[in-house]
Structure 1
Amino acid sequence: MAVTISKVDWQDAEEQLMAIRREVFIEEQGVPEDEEIDPKDPQCTHFLATDENGKPVGTSRLLPGGQIGRMAVLSSQRGTGLGGELLMVAVNYALEQNYSDIFLHAQTQAIGFYQRYGFEAEGPEFMDAGIPHRNMIFNKG
């Protein structure tokens, strides 16, 4: 299945981005809606993955401080490599923009996934939206 990943503006793609995040975080993972939705989205760089029919199937965002977040792939697309593609599009964009640090807060069950793409866990585990996480830093070297 051919998937296209595009950099999109929040103002233009909010409905598509939120549909994915609502399905993955709120419905599947039980994250409270008031914790999923935050005021940072308009300041972020967003990436949207769409299938060959133009259906939104994945998303990620990059905050101005270099944090990658809200990585979400619909269940029908998991295991296809799309998550890694979305992650690396965000990382490469951050590198092109000369971000000094690139980091994320990974759900602990996903640490191995992020390690495969050059991220290293650091610091203690912490809870976010009732889910255990760890800070991970991208190793540019």
Structure 2
Amino acid sequence: MPETKKIVVNRISDQENLDKVFAIRREVFVGEQNCPPELEWEHEEESTHFLATVDGQPAGAARWRKTDNGYKLERFAVLKQFRGQGVAQAIVGAVLADLPADANYIYLNAQIQAMSLYQKFGFVAEGPQFEEAGIQHFKMVKR
């Protein structure tokens, strides 16, 4: 029987944990996916950030922010060595649970390979496929 890993996702705002979030995003988006660094660091101040840990080790990150359209979920990233262990699902669940009660329009821009994850949480693709930072996406809206 495989050993059970303890996945914890916390809303964070202190600089030490923000540094861990930014390091995860730098490794996944800038390092692995070749996203331009200048695109990666927008809207940090108005965002609510999350850090996922596995057995106490930083493993994943995400954020949400209020926009003119509604509540946008962004920057979901899981380090390579923690993928396939339920970290992404735990992050999505924690971010959704943290949204204000009046969050009636919730959306995100999903990379194609992550769409099935968001579909499990009730998101549906809306509109045409598009490119963002050199990666194909669909806008998805929570129904």
Q: Same fold, TM exceeding 0.5? A: yes
Matches within 5 A, 1:20-31: 20-31=24-35
8 Å contact 1:10–1:42 — kept in the other structure?
no
8 Å contact 1:10–1:41 — kept in the other structure?
no
1:107 maps to which residue? 111
Matches within 5 A, 1:27-42: 27-38=31-42, 40-42=43-45
What are the Cα deviations for residues 18-47 of structure 1, in whole angstroms up to 9, with x where unaligned? 100011101111111111111x11111111
What are the Cα deviations for residues 24-77 of structure 1, in whole angstroms up to 9, with x where unaligned? 101111111111111x1111111111222x321101100123100000011111
CA distance in 1, matches of 2:15, 2:142: 28
Give the total of aligned pairs.
136
1:70 maps to which residue? 75
* 1:135 aligned partner, one-letter code: K
Gaps of 5+ in 2: none
Larger helix share, 1 or 2: 1
Taking structure 1 as the reference length, what is the TM-score of the superposition? 0.90
1:4 maps to which residue? 8
1:56 is the counterpart of 2:61:
no
1:92 is the counterpart of 2:94:
no
CA distance in 2, matches of 1:5, 1:91: 12
CA RMSD of aligned residues (A): 1.3
8 Å contact 1:68–1:103 — kept in the other structure?
yes
Matched position secondary structure for 1:41: coil
8 Å contact 1:10–1:46 — kept in the other structure?
no
* 1:28 aligned partner, one-letter code: E
Gaps of 5+ in 1: none
Taking structure 2 as the reference length, what is the TM-score of the superposition? 0.89
* 2:78 aligned partner, one-letter code: V
CA distance in 2, matches of 1:106, 1:18: 19
Structure 1 consecutive aligned stretches of length 4 or more whose deviation exceeds 6 Å: none
CA distance in 2, matches of 1:26, 1:10: 23
Percent of aligned pairs with the same amino acid: 36
